[in-house]
Amino acid sequence: MLFPEKYYIFGKSIIGGTVKKLRTDRQTLNDLGIVESTYGEKTLFSLFDMTESDGGKRCLEEWLVHPLSDWKALHERQEAIRYPDFPEIRICREELDFIEFYLSQGDRPTRVSYLESAFSYIFRHFRATPERYVIRRGTKLLENVLLELKTFADHVTELSPRLIRNIAATISEIYQATELGKMVDSCGQEDSFYRTDRLDYIFRYRRNHTIAALLSIVYQLDAIRTVHRTAVTKGWCFPSFTNDSKFMLCNFYHPQVKDAVANDWEMENGNICIFTGSNMAGKSTYMRQTALIVLMAQIGSFVPADSANISMTDRIFTRVGASDDLASGQSTFMVEMSEVANILRHATKDSLLILDEIGRGTSTFDGLSIAWAVVEYIAGSSLSGAKTLFATHYHELTELEGKLPGVNNYCIAVQEKGDTIIFLRKIIKGSADKSYGIQVAKLAGVPEVVIERAKEIAAELEESDITANTKNIGKKH
């Protein structure tokens, strides 16, 4: 990344500052498909990939990977994204790309006298014409950038968002404290080999960090406009943040799923939502879209919902999908348990936990016992308060509602028609009494003889149901 989002000029940060960020790990970023997708879906980043510069794209990627968890910084960015009423900087992508190419050239310019510059010009004119072209065009384009930034700063008013006012004030301060201000005033003068060499020296050596910081301002403004433009195009809502720990999402849906069914979600502090229901019904999608909306809100974006009331989250953890690690000799279940261990050790009461099918990679009794113990730990430890979405096919876990504080049961609505099922994709209060695994196997094309035999075996196993025993376990707590 040539120009990171944050640069320090005159002892203070131009963009962003040292602020708290919502922390995510690689596993979470992959599970949610933020920049790269594990499941072949479109990424969240691709949804916003409409920037007018590559630097704006890098800035936006940085926002998505490191959302904000600082109230003041988030409010300022939200305000700028909601009301992007500020002068547009008229620099095209090709010009910005050329500027980056020019600034990345390896040779280090030196300060030269008029006579030295003349001899240097003559030498380069005959020996290195392409190099001279890069310097002349690069300095000229950078002069245009400086002039555009000055025009931007001059037209920002007191009615502009605070972040925009701060950026404008910083630009003015830089121009007043350095020779860049005089250079802007002299824009339009006739070019000369000496003036070009002097600009090259200032841009690529003396003020190279300042120039990089000013370019990063251009990129951030591009990212702000892009997020606003995406939200307006898709008709999303502007989220509100609360000082308490209450979450309320009305008619929210996955931003990347076509014809997604809208759902609601309301959660108080300490709530653990246990989701049961059929395979393929949409439990994992529902949980991932919840995490995505929280993350989108904390970059300052609008979100795909009718309304959204969200409390600040410090970390998002996910345990979704199954995979092994053959290189290190770890089985699928070992990988799963390592991920669970990481979550339980590092999550806080302000974290969001997405846990999908904990304990499925071992025997039924071991898996159920581990899943049960994990829910108890989250409900009763220092994690009490962590917002947790827990999908499972262990229906016995629904016995924990009413026995552990903050545990609530939800399921995915399914309509049965004989041996077939229709997925309604709606989240409703209560628990499912079965997972419809055999019906899903039939939908997948498993031979009919296998399906019929599975039904016979399932009927026999139901006679030794373990649900009754779990009722007694719940009474101990």
CA neighbor of 239 nearest in space, from 292, 287, 164, 283? 292
Name the nearest CA neighbour of 13 among 170, 215, 221. 170
Alpha helices in 306-447 (DSSP H): 332-346, 364-380, 437-443
| Two tokens, residue 162 | 């605070």
Radius of gyration of the chain (CA): 29
**Token representation of residue 258:** 């076509």
Q: Which residues make beta-bridge pairs with 310?
A: 241
Q: Is the pTM of this model over 0.75?
A: yes
**Spatial separation of the C-alpha atoms in residues 413 and 117, rounded to whole Å:** 77
β-bridge pairing 272-276 and 407-417:
parallel
- CA separation for the pair 460, 472 (Å, rounded): 23
Residue 165: CB atoms within 10 A of its CB come to 18
Residues sharing a CB contact under 8 Å with residue 456, sequence separation 6 or more, in sequence order: none
Residue 472 and residue 477: Cα distance in Å, rounded?
10
For residues 394 and 166, what is the distance between their CA atoms, to the nearest angstrom? 53
Closest CA to 426 of 305, 234, 286: 286
Query: 358: which DSSP letter?
Result: T
30 token code pair = 């992959």
Distance, in Å, from the CA atom of 282 to the CA atom of 292, rounded to the nearest integer, reads 15
Per-residue pLDDT of the chain in tens (477 residues, 90 and over written 9) = 333 444 444 334 444 457 889 999 888 998 899 998 766 678 999 999 889 899 999 999 999 999 999 999 999 999 999 987 777 888 888 999 999 988 887 665 555 444 455 555 555 554 455 777 888 888 899 999 999 999 999 999 999 999 999 999 999 999 988 888 888 777 666 666 777 888 888 888 888 889 999 999 999 999 999 999 998 899 999 999 987 777 899 999 989 887 788 999 888 655 899 998 877 777 888 899 999 999 999 999 999 999 999 989 999 999 886 654 444 456 788 888 989 999 999 999 899 999 998 988 788 889 899 999 999 999 887 777 789 999 998 888 999 998 888 899 998 887 777 767 777 888 888 887 777 788 788 878 889 899 888 888 888 777 666 555 555 565 444
Q: How many other CB atoms are there within 10 angstroms of residue 336's CB atom?
A: 25
